[in-house]
Amino acid sequence: MITHLLFHFTLAGIAAGNPPATTSSGSNTLAALQNALSIIIAFAVAFIAIFWLSLIVWTFRDIRSRSQDFLTQILATVLVAVFFIGGLFIYLILRPRQTLAEIYERQLEEESLLAEMTERQTCDNCHARVESDFQICPSCGKKLKRPCPKCERLLELRWSFCPYCATNLAATSMPGMPGMAPMPSMQGMPPPQSVQMGRRYE
């Protein structure tokens, strides 16, 4: 009987002493979880804020490299700042395809190609490639240039003067009439035969 009572008192003492220890350990664990969760949320908020600012800065730099219009730059930046990732997707769809540097490089390539095509001389008749010192086209035989009669430099057909020796090509290009010899001077020439015969009969 006494042993049974001691056993009950022991159980009662254990039951009375354990609950405070269990409650304190549970509250400590909950507080630790709350602190860890607060730290994680703070890092997540800081990361999202930094990521948001980075997208705004990147959008502004990207639109500046693609357009010189100040209003377009402001609208693109505000779009990403207000709508965040959704605004970024809209900007990526609507932004100009090429940057200003790419457009400038393409213009340089086109100008270089045009200059190269201009430097290549071709025949006006058959469009065959000719050299600058050709007088006629080797493909169709069309006359391309003519030599200067004085300095013999090759000249364009439309030129009226030689730029190398200042020869008037219009005057030298008129050939003399065939069969016409220059008239000799009248001084020192004997009189005509009819005059001589008239004097003989006097």
pLDDT digit string, tens, across residues 160-174: 888 888 888 877 654
Which phi and psi angles does 120 have, rounded to 5°? -75, 115
pLDDT at 198 over 80: no
* pTM, full prediction: 0.49
* pLDDT tens digits for range 22-51: 566 778 888 888 899 999 999 999 999 999
Kindly report the average pLDDT of the chain as a whole number. 77
Q: Is residue 193 over pLDDT 70?
A: no
Q: Concatenate the DSSP letters of all residues of 81-103 into one string.
A: HHHHHHHHHHHHHHS-SS-HHHH
- According to DSSP, residue 66 is labeled T
Contact at 8 Å (CB) between 123 and 140?
yes
Read off the pLDDT of each residue in 168-188 and give the average, rounded to a whole number: 52
Q: Is residue 182 pLDDT above 80, yes or no?
A: no
